[in-house]
Structure 1
Amino acid sequence: MEHVKCLIIGSGPAGYTAAIYAGRANINPVLYCGLQMGGQLTQTTIVENFPGYPEGVDANQMMMEFRQQAERFGADIRDGIIVKADFSKRPYRLTTDRNDELEADTVIIATGASAKYLGLDDEKKYNGQGVSACATCDGFFYRKKVVAVVGGGDTACEEATYLAQLCSKVYMIVRKPYLRASDIMKKRVESNEKIEILYEHNTLGLYGENGVEGAHLVKRKGEADEERYDLPIDGFFLAIGHQPNTEIFKEWLELDETGYIKTQGDTPRTNIPGVFAAGDCADPHYRQAIVAAGSGCKAALEAERYLQTL
């Protein structure tokens, strides 16, 4: 069985940054990329809010540069997925999708979180061409344009409010006859002249030649009555929540009600000594690449200090 000092799970900004710091500390990190090499960030196109790229940067290019930097410092980066974890005793045992088993003195979990989608084929068709799950990431591209936000909770209200600062018009597509958001968020969107809330609406699909040009909607008007129509928009934002990719760790780690890993104070430490969490899998609030990168740095520093105690 292979033994490693530091195993990093995930290849987004958190995972790669952890690998950079762990590599520079000469602890020979091994990183498994997971399902999506480069993480959720690679589902967008241009990143304009990451420091150091004044003209913006292609998301895939940026993550490749993260990887190259980690490899420069000796990180062993591998394709593959960790499918099983056993944190019952040290060294910790983990299993890959190829049934390879590893023992690790420290583990940095940077598996991220996946945005929830409606399940429409058009969401995949127009991904990066008008469909987004991050207003902060992509809102700038829709300045003075018309967009729609799907969802009725606090996240949807926050996204709509943010987009209203940039866009000429923001529709909120809400399937219920009310908003689930807190009172303060309700008042914020209801009082914003740029935001129009479409209650009891569902999205049937999207249309457009070279990107999203509109949405096919259905409005419920009664028990057996509905109205179908097309809504011209330039962008379609999903704000119905995220699902942290933490399923295989739930037997061992403390998670919140949604599945995010609980960490101790402002540290990346989990309830298991030597196991650390970084990035979106432990961040239900910010979900930004720069925040994830910073948490990856903290996790690697903590792993280095922990190893010195063994």
Structure 2
Amino acid sequence: MKYNAIIIGGGAAGLSAALYLARAGLAPLIFAGSPPGGQLMLTSEVENFPGRESILGGELIDVMRKQAQKFGGIIVDENVKSVGLVGAGRDLPVQHTIESASGKIYQTKALIIATGAKALWMGLDSETRLRGKGVSACATCDAFFFKNKIVAVIGGGDSALEEALTLTKFASKVYIVHRRAEFKASKIMQKRVFEHEKIEIIWNSAIEEIIGEKKVEGMRIKAVGVGRDRPVQEIKLNGIFVAIGHRPDTDLFKGQIELDQKGYVLTTTMYALEKLKAESSKLKDMKFDVGYQTMTSVGGVFGAGDCVDHVYKQASTAAGMGVQAALDAERYLEKI
């Protein structure tokens, strides 16, 4: 089966791209995944997406799906098993190949990768049970719900410290639980954290259990590394923010498009191109097309959302990138 445009990803980026391509009359095929919906499906309430004061994450995805379908988008709630990307001939109408989990083969002239990125979790049963009920991986998204409450951030990198500082604007107290005796974060971030009166750091420790049945009520922490003979400690609190990193869902594309060291899709924004050229001799020779800012190193293949963006990681920024990718794909198809 052949399509002008195929989108892999059914989150904010993929569905925004689908809406624009559908309105352009291109009837895109969207692999929304199984289960569909992206990271928004893990968010209980969204209050920072333009247009609605408050909406459930799943409801927002449902609205976006229906809007894309209204204009001719074709949504398949299925995962992609493999892709075959044709790299030669940026200006030729090449056909990229997609194999679905059920074994069906699809071809497309334009492909948008919007597979997202998943937050890394600690792997506790209690963490899974209470996700969205006091356990979060996004302070920017959820800090507002913890006004005058006690929270903890898990991690020791720049992201963890930034989460902690964000939470101080709302919470009455913020613990940082880190399994080492020093942070990996930048010195300026460490200085801000050390000097903040609301923040208390618990070194050489890890969460053993999150306490609570229907909501977070506390945490049980154990000593690790130096001083591991310390007794298990229980602390009452209302929220836990896990900030131990994200992993982009880009394994399908390894060896076929250029990814950065962490696996994020490299696209051709003017700023990124100049920065990357300056930093790497290998990247100087890569044939990015600056006319399409969301295009990857392969012609007709575009990237959008959290599989590209490792800085902002918001539904609204992902949606905006999806729109950019759709417009780039539309212009690309017009030229070939």
User: Does the alignment reach a TM-score above 0.5?
Assistant: yes
- Superposed CA offset, 1:141-197 (max 9, x none): 111100000000000000000001110000000000000000010001111100111
Structure 2 letter corresponding to 1:309: K
Could you tell me whether the CA contact under 8 Å between 2:152 and 2:240 is conserved in 1? Answer: yes
Could you tell me whether the CA contact under 8 Å between 2:222 and 2:232 is conserved in 1? Answer: yes
Deviates more, 1:29-38 or 1:291-300: 29-38
1:121-132 to 2 correspondences below 5 Å: 121-132=125-136
Name the SS for the 2:231 alignment partner: strand
Distance 1:212 1:224, change over 3 A: closer
Could you tell me whether the CA contact under 8 Å between 2:209 and 2:221 is conserved in 1? Answer: yes
Q: Which runs of structure 1 show a deviation greater than 6 angstroms over 4 or more consecutive aligned residues?
A: none
Structure 2 letter corresponding to 1:278: A
- 1:77 matched to which residue of 2? 75
- 1:288 matched to which residue of 2? 314
Deviates more, 1:9-18 or 1:205-214: 205-214
Deviates more, 1:170-179 or 1:201-210: 201-210
Could you tell me whether the CA contact under 8 Å between 1:221 and 1:227 is conserved in 2? Answer: no
Name the SS for the 2:140 alignment partner: helix
Name the SS for the 2:222 alignment partner: strand
State the 1:222 CA deviation.
Answer: 4.2
- Structure 2 counterpart of 1:188, from 188, 192, 217: 192
Could you tell me whether the CA contact under 8 Å between 1:33 and 1:80 is conserved in 2? Answer: yes
- Superposed CA offset, 1:254-275 (max 9, x none): 1111110011115211000100
State the 1:221 CA deviation.
Answer: 7.5
- Structure 2 counterpart of 1:217, from 217, 221, 234: 221
Q: Quick check: 1:259 aligned with 2:263?
A: yes
- 1:5 matched to which residue of 2? 4
Could you tell me whether the CA contact under 8 Å between 2:113 and 2:304 is conserved in 1? Answer: yes
Structure 2 letter corresponding to 1:165: K
- 1:18 matched to which residue of 2? 17
- 2:137 matched to which residue of 1? 133
State the 1:225 CA deviation.
Answer: 1.7
Deviates more, 1:186-195 or 1:203-212: 203-212
Name the SS for the 2:219 alignment partner: strand
- Structure 2 counterpart of 1:246, from 235, 244, 250: 250
Could you tell me whether the CA contact under 8 Å between 1:220 and 1:227 is conserved in 2? Answer: no
Could you tell me whether the CA contact under 8 Å between 2:130 and 2:213 is conserved in 1? Answer: no
When you count strand as a share of all residues, which structure comes out higher? 1
State the 1:224 CA deviation.
Answer: 5.7
Distance 1:117 1:38, change over 3 A: same
Could you tell me whether the CA contact under 8 Å between 2:180 and 2:225 is conserved in 1? Answer: no
| TM-score for both structures, normalised by structure 2 | 0.90
Q: Quick check: 1:278 aligned with 2:311?
A: no
Q: Quick check: 1:170 aligned with 2:174?
A: yes
Name the SS for the 2:132 alignment partner: coil
- Superposed CA offset, 1:207-248 (max 9, x none): 114301001101247466232011111001000000000001
- The separation in 1 between residues aligned to 2:31 and 2:169, in whole angstroms, is 39
Could you tell me whether the CA contact under 8 Å between 1:22 and 1:28 is conserved in 2? Answer: yes
Root mean square deviation, CA, Å: 1.2
State the 1:250 CA deviation.
Answer: 1.0
- The separation in 2 between residues aligned to 1:224 and 1:279, in whole angstroms, is 41
- 1:298 matched to which residue of 2? 324
- The separation in 2 between residues aligned to 1:68 and 1:174, in whole angstroms, is 43
Name the SS for the 1:272 alignment partner: coil
The unaligned stretches of length 5 or more in structure 2 are 88-93, 271-292
Name the SS for the 1:217 alignment partner: strand
State the 1:251 CA deviation.
Answer: 1.3
Structure 2 letter corresponding to 1:35: S
Distance 1:153 1:61, change over 3 A: same
The unaligned stretches of length 5 or more in structure 1 are none
